[in-house]
Amino acid sequence: MHRTSTHTSTSASTSTNASTSASGKNSVQDGSKTEPPEPARPQARPERPKDEAYELWASEFLEHRKVPYQKKRADFVKLSEIRKAFGLNGKGMPTGWVEAIHNYFSSPLSSYTLADLCTRYDVFIRSPVNQYGRPLPTTTITREPGDLQGFHREEGVR
């Protein structure tokens, strides 16, 4: 009796094979498989706007280090913190970004990362550093108190 019920279920599955598939194509009765339905194509994502600050960093890294920059999650976390500090929304460039990148790559460091630049942004926005991590003397323009017309250059002022 158990054998008959097994045979019945097999014959029921055979009749299913001969039926029309969900895609409307008739299956072959000799037991071959029907064509699988075409997978749904994912909708194309809208392109993200270019991150100008990152793109500048990556191009300068390639120019100075001669290899493409391998971005890391921490880079964007730190860049986001800098942007927040400057009150920037989205992907704007922080104030002094070009100068900071220039000073960063002008410094003799053992490694160069975007996260490191962002962490020490207050240093690199003003000057490069020496091999010990100390800011190098720079030429700055200062104004004497009460002198609204003239500016004086001072060496070594940070």
Torsion of CA 110, 115, 121, 127, to 10 degrees: 20
**Rounded to an integer, what distance in angstroms lies between the CA atom of residue 27 and that of residue 36?**
11
For residue 109, the enclosing domain spans 52-133
Q: Judge whether 120 lies within some domain.
A: yes
Reported as a single tens digit per residue, the pLDDT across 100-149 is: 999 999 999 999 999 999 999 999 999 999 999 999 987 554 445 554 45
Pairing of strands 152-155, 139-142: antiparallel
Q: Judge whether 79 lies within some domain.
A: yes
Give pLDDT, residue 104: 97
Give pLDDT, residue 96: 95
Contacts of 22 (CB under 8 A, 6+ apart): 37
Q: Judge whether 9 lies within some domain.
A: no
Q: Judge whether 100 lies within some domain.
A: yes
The DSSP element (H or E) to which 24 belongs, if any, is none
Are the C-beta atoms of 19 and 13 separated by less than 8 Å? no
The pTM for the full model equals 0.60
**Rounded to an integer, what distance in angstroms lies between the CA atom of residue 146 and that of residue 83?**
35
* Total number of domains constituting the chain: 1
Contacts of 127 (CB under 8 A, 6+ apart): 103, 135, 136, 137, 138, 158
Q: Judge whether 129 lies within some domain.
A: yes
DSSP bridge pairs for 155: 139
- Phi, psi dihedral angles at 80 (to 5 degrees): -65, -40
Give the percent of the chain with pLDDT over 90. Answer: 52
Q: Judge whether 39 lies within some domain.
A: no
Q: Judge whether 1 lies within some domain.
A: no
Q: Judge whether 157 lies within some domain.
A: no
Give pLDDT, residue 29: 54
120-133 burial, b if ≥16 CB within 10 A, otherwise e? bbebbbbbbbeeee
